[in-house]
């Protein structure tokens, strides 16, 4: 007979420790909190994918915030809320202001501002460009000033940022599910569409069955780095900041 091995933290009755979902018919999550920073090119790519999943499955995507400026802040530098205008932070404050009127306005704002930065190479992180984008959406450009003059929009962004940090999160995209589990990623470029997008969603949410798997990463060969650089070219041209690549904790 084969040698028996200790199961450790893993259950041997059909599921991982702490749950009984594996081995049973999987049920797709009904909704997800998608934490993003408009400045992040990876989060934008993943947002295109999750929008496709939503269109195919009626997934409830709830847009939530996370600040790369805050998580990457150097010691001694100002917090983003201590500045009159901070790039990603201020764009998210505009989003928070719009969401209070209608969550779909935040949905549209992320789509428009994200496309402007990551596809068109514009600078939505500048107030005057943000005003132009809002006008193009049929909204009042004065929304920029209203959002920044309201300190509670910053409170809203910080609260959602801290939600991710409280779970050990460190970047975006971060997905938080209704059962409290959080996943970082998927980190991708050239997101899939149609049924392939849904297949990826099923693979990603399959991780929820295994809460003691923490990381699976594909090494980047030179061709991968070139593909990423090509996908991010508009962003790299438009950014007015130095990007920080933090190591995974």
Q: Where are the domains of the chain?
A: 35-238
Name the pairing type of β-strands 31-36 and 60-65: parallel
Instruction: Find all residues with CB under 8 Å of 52, minimum gap 6, and list them.
Output: 191, 192, 193, 194, 197
pLDDT value, residue 27:
83
State mean pLDDT over 191-202. 98
Residue 16 has pLDDT above 60, yes or no: no
- pLDDT for 26 equals 72
- Out of 10-19, 91-100, 115-124, 141-150, which region has the weakest mean confidence (pLDDT)? 10-19
Instruction: Work out the average pLDDT over 123-141.
Output: 98
Span 91-102, mean pLDDT?
A: 98
Mean pLDDT of the chain: 90
**Closest-CA residue to 165 (of 68, 90, 61, 80):** 68
DSSP 8-state class, residue 173: S
Q: Which residue has the higher pLDDT, 11 or 241?
A: 241
Say yes or no to pLDDT of 19 above 50.
Answer: no
Domain 35-238 CATH class label: alpha beta
- The residue to which tokens 């893993």 are assigned: 10
pLDDT, tens only, 39-77: 999 999 999 999 999 999 999 999 999 999 999 999 999
pLDDT at residue 15 is higher than 60: no
- Residues 100 and 122: beta-carbon distance below 8 Å: no
């Amino acid at each position: 007979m084969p040698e028996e091995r200790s199961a450790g933290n893993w259950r041997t009755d059909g599921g991982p420790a702490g749950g009984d979902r594996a081995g049973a018919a999987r049920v797709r999550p009904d909704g997800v909190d998608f934490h993003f920073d408009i400045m992040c090119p990876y989060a934008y790519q993943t947002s295109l994918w999750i929008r496709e999943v939503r269109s195919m499955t009626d997934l409830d995507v709830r847009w939530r915030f996370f600040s790369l400026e805050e998580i990457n802040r150097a010691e001694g530098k100002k917090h983003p809320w201590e500045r009159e205008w901070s790039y990603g932070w201020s764009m998210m404050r505009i989003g928070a202001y719009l969401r209070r009127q209608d969550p779909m306005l935040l949905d549209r704002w992320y789509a428009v501002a994200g496309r402007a930065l990551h596809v068109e190479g514009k600078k939505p992180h500048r107030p005057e460009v943000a005003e132009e984008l809002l006008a193009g959406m049929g909204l009042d450009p004065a929304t920029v000033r209203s959002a920044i003059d309201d300190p509670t929009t910053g409170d809203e962004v910080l609260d959602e940022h801290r939600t991710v940090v409280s779970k050990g999160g460190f970047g975006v995209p971060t997905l938080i599910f209704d059962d409290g589990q959080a996943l970082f990623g998927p980190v991708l470029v050239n997101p899939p569409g149609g049924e392939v997008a849904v297949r990826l969603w099923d693979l990603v949410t399959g991780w929820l069955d295994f809460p003691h798997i923490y990381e699976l990463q594909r090494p980047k060969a030179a061709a991968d780095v070139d593909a990423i650089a090509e996908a991010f070219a508009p962003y790299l041209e438009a950014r007015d900041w130095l990007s920080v690549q933090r190591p995974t904790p």
